Amino acid sequence: MLSEIIIQKIKKEGPLTAAFGAMIGRQLEQMWDFMGRGAFTIVEYGAGTGLLCHDILDYLISVSRGATGAATFIITYQGLKIP
């Protein structure tokens, strides 16, 4: 399955690029605008190193300061594998 190949590639080669974080940041900014620019929460499951969160926030800070003030960012990471 293609999605599994992509997941394995990411696990093997490391985090996604900053451009991907900016793309997600742009989409979040558009959704925030569509929702009336109120408070909102972003949850990143399995954050690992936190680079995606960092790249998203970099984008939002550089382009839309209002969004960063309205956002609550929650990152989670489960380092243990439970059988």
Give the pTM: 0.67
Q: Measuring CA to CA, which residue among 75, 74, 73, 49 is closest to residue 59? A: 73
pLDDT tens-digit map of 52-61: 888 888 888 8
Radius of gyration of the chain (CA): 14
Q: Which residue(s) pair with 41 in the sheet?
A: 72
pLDDT tens-digit map of 1-51: 667 776 776 666 665 678 888 889 899 989 988 989 888 888 887 777 778
